[in-house]
Amino acid sequence: MMENLHELLINRRSIRRYTNAPVDADDVRLILEAGLMAPTSKNARSWQFVVVEEPEMLALLGQCKPNYATSVANAPLAIVVTADMTKSEAWIEDASVAASFMMLQAADLGLGSCWVEVRDRYREDGEPSEEYVRNLLGIPEEMAVVCILSVGYKDETRRPIDTTKLLWEKVHAGKW
């Protein structure tokens, strides 16, 4: 692929439906490399990632909250993004930047992806989504589960971002 970054940003949209095709192991590796190359506060690299490709586990992860998690169950690949809350006070930022880098690398490989928020989300019975995911995957206590990235070949078409509709009123020149 390798369009220029601006084109890639225009064409990246959240993709929640995927074909059954597995993601090539080399591509999975490139996506993870992108996460591992992401900048972190004080270079703490507080994140750790769990790669899930097993269909049964993907289906279970897709039940981590009642709504907006179905893309995980639809996907051939999920990357669970966790962060060590004892390693950095900027663990949310560290994890978020790594997740963003992985989504952009996925986009560059022609893959669709979607961020599924886990932190501070709850299941229908009130159980924190984080606890549910932690138990399923054996993630240690000190690791927060920030999000799950669902990744796969696109099975839906989304319009590119319309750059004439960007919210420039949110940008302040010089001072607020």
Least distance to ligand FMN, CB of residue 110, Å = 16
CB under 6 A: which stretch of 11-19, 26-34, 73-81, 134-142 binds ligand FMN? 11-19
User: For residues 16 and 70, is the Cβ–Cβ distance under 8 A?
Assistant: yes
**Restricting to residues 117-176, which ones interact with ligand FMN according to CB under 6 A?**
117
Token pair 């986009």: residue: 107
Give the chain's end-to-end CA distance (angstroms, integer). Answer: 39
Check residue 105 for interaction with ligand FMN (CB under 6 A): no
Task: Map tokens 């995911």 to a residue.
Answer: 133
Q: Which is nearer to ligand FMN, 71 or 82 (CB)?
A: 71
Closest distance of CB 29 from ligand FMN, Å: 24
Q: Are 146 and 92 in contact (CB under 8 A)?
A: yes
Is 68 among the residues that bind ligand FMN (CB under 6 A)?
Answer: yes
Please tell me whether residue 114 binds ligand FMN under the rule CB under 6 A: yes
168 burial via Cβ count (<10 Å: 0-12, 13-18, 19+): exposed
For binding to ligand FMN (CB under 6 A), which residues are involved? 13-14, 16, 68, 71, 114-117
